[in-house]
Amino acid sequence: MGCCFSEPVDFDGEVNLYHFDLHRAVGKGAFGKVRVVEHKRTKKLYALKYIDKARCLRQKAVANIIQERRLLEEIDHPFVVNLRYAFQDDENCFFVLDLMLGGDLRFHLERKGYIQEEVVRFWMAELSCALEYLHRQRIIHRDLKPDNILLDAMGHAHVTDFNVAIHYSERRLHTSVAGSMAYMAPQVVNKKGYSWQIDWWSLGITAYELLFHKRPFDGRNSEKMTQSIMKDSLQFPEDATTRCSDHGIMALKGFIDRDPATRLGCRPNGQGIEDIRHHPWFLGVDWDGLEGKESQPPFVPDMKQANFDVTHELDEFLMVEKPLTHSKRKANPDLDKMKPELRQLEEQFTVYDFSSMNRMSYYPHNQPIVAIGTESDNTDRTLAQSTTGTIVPTATIVERSQAGSPIFESCDHHPIPSMPNGTHGYIAS
């Protein structure tokens, strides 16, 4: 789909949808589609994630959208799907992101049945670099899973979807339940308090699933899954040794360790990454070449075919959904007459343009954004539910933090290992 707008585009003004040509849909989220777009001046291709404001309001997700927008402005890393532009019109909020045409890991897992060990090890090394970077930025992703890891055309892995990501505090642990239950660490499901160490557990569960096409802890409902995560011993399939080396099994056991103090990747003061780099499973990795994207990925997606569900485009073709079109904004909207949540989006989902603006950190001014005039602080919210009412293994769940989050000094919890060199102010764009 191209643009039929005849007036010249003002590339010197604020970025908007008219700066882009719209191409095919490549994905679908909770609030809208993801399309390929081309910047008209630079001719560069990006992914456009757009969020229907009305649907966002109905699902009480304004706070999440603003939080994601702010966190993405802080992030710039080779193994993250980075934000390039952000803007809005009267109907949608837009994220323009790095384009990943290699598909997500769920897509490749379902197509292949399981992923070879050397491929999984390579992806885990790249993702370890991404997680270490995020944690240094004081960000917890909270929803790492195969669906949220995208490949570029070369086969490099990238973390995406920061919808439930948050800054962690140096002083208190988090108790809000967020993420996808099958990948949640015990510290999340038991609501006793957690910090950045939970991402390493999720990485281990992801690696296990890619290798064996099953997850180590499961249950038909949330209660049984919670019990499995909390108490079941870590078991491996009978044919595990045919798919994974002893060192690989040892790494999985290191990541999927219920104690965050001894979990692989979790040593205090940022030293956990050294434990990963020196782990026998990762000894063959050229870490310098890896971080510069100079290492050849052992799996390269087949770019002659679509690495995504091609039915996403069909919805618009069959008019199931209203197609995205370029539309001019109303001039000078009256904020006082807007619903509070819409006004919040208007004021806080600000324009971002990576070509002319520095990336800014909202830490330590990262007060939690509370949706105006909505549910109480301890209301559970599920962003994606199955129609049968059973838990969806990959659905993202959000529950607000309890006011009485355990404080850092509490004797019931391990001290929160600090991550050094957290960025304050600005980082390079």
Band (pLDDT 50/70/90 cuts) for residue 252 is very high
Please name the amino acid found at residue 63: A
Q: Is residue 172 part of a domain?
A: yes
Q: Is residue 163 part of a domain?
A: yes
Per-residue pLDDT at 383: 31
User: How many Å is the maximal CA-CA distance in the chain?
Assistant: 66
Residue 413 pLDDT > 90: no
Query: What percent of the chain is modeled with pLDDT above 70?
Result: 76
Residue among 65, 126, 89 nearest 327 (CA): 89
Same domain, 141 and 129: yes
Same domain, 86 and 113: no
Q: Which structural domain range is residue 316 located in?
A: 17-100+306-360
Q: Is residue 371 part of a domain?
A: no
Band (pLDDT 50/70/90 cuts) for residue 281 is very high
Per-residue pLDDT at 362: 72
Per-residue pLDDT at 236: 97
Per-residue pLDDT at 375: 32
Token pair of 286 as six digits: 């050229």
Residue 422 pLDDT > 60: no
Strands (DSSP E) found in 58-209: 83-88, 92-98, 139-140, 149-151, 157-159, 166-167, 178-179
| β-sheet bridge partners, residue 27 | 34
Rounded Cα distance between 56 and 234, Å, is 39
Per-residue pLDDT at 339: 81
> What HEC string does 173-226 produce?
CECCCEECHHHCCHHHHCCCCECCCHHHHHHHHHHHHHHHCCCCCCCCCHHHHH
7-16, 119-128, 351-360 — which one is most confidently predicted on average?
Answer: 119-128
Rounded Cα distance between 305 and 80, Å, is 24
Band (pLDDT 50/70/90 cuts) for residue 217 is very high
At 289, which CATH number?
A: 1.10.510.10
* Rounded (10°) angle between helices 117-136 and 246-255: 30
Band (pLDDT 50/70/90 cuts) for residue 410 is very low
Residue 207 pLDDT > 90: yes
> How many structural domains is the chain composed of?
2
Residue 188 pLDDT > 60: yes
Does residue 420 have a cis peptide bond before it, meaning omega lies within 30 degrees of 0?
A: no
Are 77 and 429 spatial neighbours (Cβ–Cβ below 8 Å)?
Answer: no
Mean local confidence (pLDDT), 189-203: 96
Same domain, 112 and 64: no
Same domain, 297 and 311: no
Residue 290 pLDDT > 60: yes
Q: Is residue 366 part of a domain?
A: no
At 311, which CATH number?
A: 3.30.200.20
Residue among 255, 138, 267, 158 nearest 208 (CA): 255
pLDDT in tens, 19-38: 999 998 887 766 677 899 99
Q: Is residue 367 part of a domain?
A: no
pLDDT in tens, 293-312: 999 999 999 988 777 765 55
Are 22 and 324 spatial neighbours (Cβ–Cβ below 8 Å)?
Answer: yes
Q: How far is CA 155 from the centre of its chain?
A: 18
Per-residue pLDDT at 304: 82
Rounded Cα distance between 231 and 227, Å, is 6
29-38, 55-64, 91-100 — which one is most confidently predicted on average?
Answer: 91-100
Please name the amino acid found at residue 206: T
Per-residue pLDDT at 46: 95
Rounded Cα distance between 16 and 10, Å, is 9
Rounded Cα distance between 362 and 368, Å, is 11
| β-sheet bridge partners, residue 385 | none
Same domain, 293 and 313: no
One of 143, 147, 152, 199 is an active-site residue; which one? Answer: 143
Same domain, 297 and 310: no
Token pair of 127 as six digits: 């993702």
Q: How far is CA 353 from the centre of its chain?
A: 21
Please give the DSSP secondary-structure letter assigned to residue 326.
Answer: -
Mean pLDDT of all residues in the chain?
A: 81
Same domain, 162 and 282: yes
Same domain, 53 and 199: no
Residue among 83, 101, 86, 84 nearest 36 (CA): 101
Q: Is residue 192 part of a domain?
A: yes
Q: Is residue 176 part of a domain?
A: yes
Rounded Cα distance between 10 and 29, Å, is 30
145 is in an annotated binding site: no
Token pair of 322 as six digits: 């209203």
Q: Choose between 5 and 201: higher pLDDT.
A: 201
353 is known as an active-site residue:
no
Are 104 and 370 spatial neighbours (Cβ–Cβ below 8 Å)?
Answer: no
Mean local confidence (pLDDT), 63-82: 94
Q: Is residue 6 part of a domain?
A: no
Question: How many residues are given for the chain?
Answer: 429
Q: Choose between 347 and 81: higher pLDDT.
A: 81
Rounded Cα distance between 11 and 19, Å, is 7
Q: What angle do CA 390, 260, 409 make, to 5 degrees?
A: 110
Residue 425 pLDDT > 60: no
Rounded Cα distance between 72 and 52, Å, is 19
pLDDT in tens, 113-163: 999 999 999 999 999 999 999 999 999 999 999 999 999 999 999 999 998
Phi-psi region of 245 (alpha: psi -120 to 50; beta: other; left: phi over 0): beta
Same domain, 194 and 50: no
